[in-house]
Structure 1
Amino acid sequence: MTSDGEIIHFDNVGLRYGTDREVLSDLTFTLHAGRFYFLTGASGAGKTSLLRLLYLAQRPSRGAIRMFGTDAITLPRARLPVMRRRIGVVFQDFRLIEHLSAFDNVALPLRVAGHAEKDIAGPVRDILEWVGLTDRIDASPATLSGGEQQRVAIARAVIARPAMLVADEPTGNVDPDMAAKLIRLFEMLNRQGTTVVVATHDLDLLRKVPDSLIMRLDKGRLSDPTGALRYPPRKLT
């Protein structure tokens, strides 16, 4: 992290898949530590592609990206796992491990990070209770509903208190009450210093986090060149 709290900086970033036209073009913006960002835009605007760049699943076709003070473009592949552990990700398709229980899916980031088993059970049970899954702690993903799988995926993403949380439509498979509860969970994590980036098409969510910043994608470009609008829209001072 740099001295001014910058954790991510994109400079003239573009992304294309194969020989197709660019799906993201000329992206220049900065994300700061401890801020809450919503990423919005119509279907096909490039939200998921931008998130893939943010959690290091994809390298850009051009431009520069600095992440936690490191050049992410030239980062050796062997160092990617360590960098990725600083980023919690909620995938739109959940990506739970089918042969593991809800408990073990959520515990996985702590085990990968080398936490002792005696230090894992308490935090995992607490976060599963928070997302309303105390009675499903031993269930396999195949026996969970879509909304329950979503909540397990969110619990897994936040259990290790990442420096940045990236979430792709995290409330898309839950009812409004649970959606509000999950957003409060993200806010709590944010108040503890985690930078949060939530991609959503649900504009009502924007009103639930008054101090959030809004990044709007339109056909692969940020509609505001600063990449950071408040809700209601007004430029940062």
Structure 2
Amino acid sequence: MTGSDASIVQFDNVGLRYGTEREVLSDISFTLYPGSFYFLTGASGAGKTSMLKLLYLAQRPSRGMIRMFGEDVITAARRSLPEFRRRIGTVFQDFRLVPHLTAFDNVALPLRISGMGEQDIRKPVADMLDWVGLDHRAEARPATLSGGEQQRVAIARAVIARPEMLVADEPTGNVDPDMAVKLLRLFEALNRLGTTVVVATHDVHLLRKVPDSLIMRLDKGRLSDPTGALRYPPRRERIAR
């Protein structure tokens, strides 16, 4: 696919099993397009977290094909995977903050890894912490932060470098409803800058908060796509270009 039809992610008949257990994901096929916003939903145990692990390259599938950023990541050498991962922002359910770093330094980490100079880091990190309501906790370490505060630091870290794709696993699960909406607005703003966003959630109320989003539903390891939205570019993209 080329032009407006170019995909950022393509799954083709992907299956995933852990060890000798039955498949937790079966015959998964879909295409994600640049600059689109997707919700991944499904009951507990449907396979959402497993799907996200495939998307941020923490897990290889048992079968099928996955292409990201125009390249086959299944056959790619393991040494090339960190370069792919640097193009993906990830929000984990367990946050995975670096315990000995302050909130400021956790958020700054992707910028430092990318080689940005210290003089250019301070303002964007301070602005991001202010956006998520933690400017007053910039020097706090993760152990002194509440669960909701750790969640917000993790989200700020994931979006600070404007990744090409953002993958978020229940990103609003530890915050109050007002902050949940504010964080969704942050994701929307990043999306408008061109980032493809995938948010896994069991909260059906969130699905109505982003009008242009597309919905991916998992049911017992299989993906339901009754509208065909995951096989073709979103209509607004086709019209716009």
Question: TM (normalized to structure 2)?
Answer: 0.93
Using the TM superposition, give the Cα deviation of residue 176 of structure 1 relative to its aligned residue in structure 2, in angstroms.
0.2
The match for 1:131 is 132
2: distance between equivalents of 1:205 and 1:175? 13
Unmatched segments (≥5 aa) in structure 2: 232-237
1: distance between equivalents of 2:182 and 2:188? 10
1:36 aligns with 2:37: yes
1:147 aligns with 2:148: yes
1:82 aligns with 2:83: yes
Deviations 1:2-28 (A, max 9, x none): 532311000000000000000000001
Deviations 1:126-152 (A, max 9, x none): 000000001000000000000000000
2: distance between equivalents of 1:62 and 1:227? 24
Q: Which secondary structure state, in structure 2, belongs to the residue aligned with residue 49 of structure 1?
A: helix
The match for 1:192 is 193
Question: TM (normalized to structure 1)?
Answer: 0.95
CA distance 1:2–1:89, change in 2 (3 Å):
farther
1:203 aligns with 2:204: yes
1: distance between equivalents of 2:225 and 2:16? 19
CA distance 1:10–1:227, change in 2 (3 Å):
farther
Alignment RMSD (CA, Å) = 1.6
Q: Which secondary structure state, in structure 2, belongs to the residue aligned with residue 165 of structure 1?
A: strand
Using the TM superposition, give the Cα deviation of residue 190 of structure 1 relative to its aligned residue in structure 2, in angstroms.
0.3
1:121 aligns with 2:122: yes
2: distance between equivalents of 1:2 and 1:45? 33
Q: Which amino acid in the other structure matches residue 172 of structure 1?
A: G
1: distance between equivalents of 2:2 and 2:190? 21
Deviations 1:22-45 (A, max 9, x none): 000000100000000000000000
The match for 2:235 is none
Deviations 1:94-136 (A, max 9, x none): 0001000000000001111111111111110000000000100
Unmatched segments (≥5 aa) in structure 1: 230-235
Alignment of 1:1-237 (within 5 A): 2-3=2-3, 4-224=5-225, 226=228, 228=230
CA contact (8 A) 1:216 1:227 kept: no
